[in-house]
Amino acid sequence: MKEAALLVLCYLLGSIPFSYFFTRMLTRQDIRKRGSGNVGATNVFRTSGPGVALLAFLGDLLKGLLAAWIGQSTGSQLLLVICVILAVIGHIYPVFLGFKGGKGVTTSAGIILFLMPDVTGILLLVFLAIVYFTRYVSLGSITVACLLPLVSLAMGKPWSYVVIGILMAALVVYHHRENIDRLRNGSEAKITDKA
């Protein structure tokens, strides 16, 4: 019973739509009707500026950190995997916004930061380099998502961490499929483009 409650808690934690809340509170606008319509920090940055985006980013990052801490505290590797994946699913399909949320990148980053800070450092450098040279946040997100399980495996992380990496990569890439299409045809928005 306790385990089931923790799983529900992780999903609900992931479902908290910080991008929506902060944009609504500080700009009185609905992020779902601005820019790409995505409930995530990148869209907040392009539509509402860096200050609001930073708050949204930190909120989503914290969700991942807390979910990983909850999962780790159970002492079960299986429950850890389920807890963190439910948090990412909650972010993507939030019960509080009609199951239409973000793409899971920042919440996933919080999880990896808690579990594997060394891997986070490597992937952050890759992400920043890609965004700096291309100005495509989506390309950076997709690339590091694909690298996550490979780097985790190469660095000898526990099987549960590698599984987490595989599942999170699948979720992130799947929910970036429209971005992938736009990257292919050259219509993807750059971070410097105003919505």
Average pLDDT over residues 5-12: 96
Per-residue tokens: 11: 């999903």
Whether residue 195 is predicted with pLDDT greater than 70 in this model: the reply is: no
Which percentage of the chain shows pLDDT scores above 70? Answer: 99
Mean pLDDT, all residues of the chain: 94
**Euclidean distance between CA atoms 84 and 128, whole angstroms:** 24
Q: What is the pLDDT of residue 75?
A: 94
Whether the Cβ atoms of residue 110 and residue 60 lie closer than 8 Å to each other:
yes
- Average the pLDDT over each of 6-10, 32-36, 90-94, 191-195 and give the range with the smallest value: 191-195
**Euclidean distance between CA atoms 104 and 168, whole angstroms:** 8
The predicted-structure confidence for 45-64, as pLDDT tens digits, reads as follows: 988 999 999 999 999 999 99
- The length of the chain in residues reads 195
Q: What is the pLDDT of residue 183?
A: 94
Whether residue 1 is predicted with pLDDT greater than 80 in this model: the reply is: no
**Euclidean distance between CA atoms 94 and 153, whole angstroms:** 30
Q: What is the pLDDT of residue 190?
A: 87
**Euclidean distance between CA atoms 89 and 10, whole angstroms:** 10
pTM of the full structure = 0.93
The predicted-structure confidence for 129-174, as pLDDT tens digits, reads as follows: 999 999 999 999 999 999 999 999 999 999 999 999 999 999 999 9
The predicted-structure confidence for 71-110, as pLDDT tens digits, reads as follows: 999 999 999 999 999 999 999 999 999 999 999 999 999 9
The predicted-structure confidence for 139-151, as pLDDT tens digits, reads as follows: 999 999 999 999 9
List the one residue out of 144, 118, 110, 117 whose CA is nearest residue 129: 144
3-state secondary structure the chain: CHHHHHHHHHHHHHHCCHHHHHHHHHHCCCHHHCCCCCCCHHHHHHHHCHHHHHHHHHHHHHHHHHHHHHHHHCCCHHHHHHHHHHHHHHHHCCHHHCCCCCCCHHHHHHHHHHHCHHHHHHHHHHHHHHHHHHCCHHHHHHHHHHHHHHHHHHCCCCHHHHHHHHHHHHHHHHCCHHHHHHHHHCCCCCCCCCC
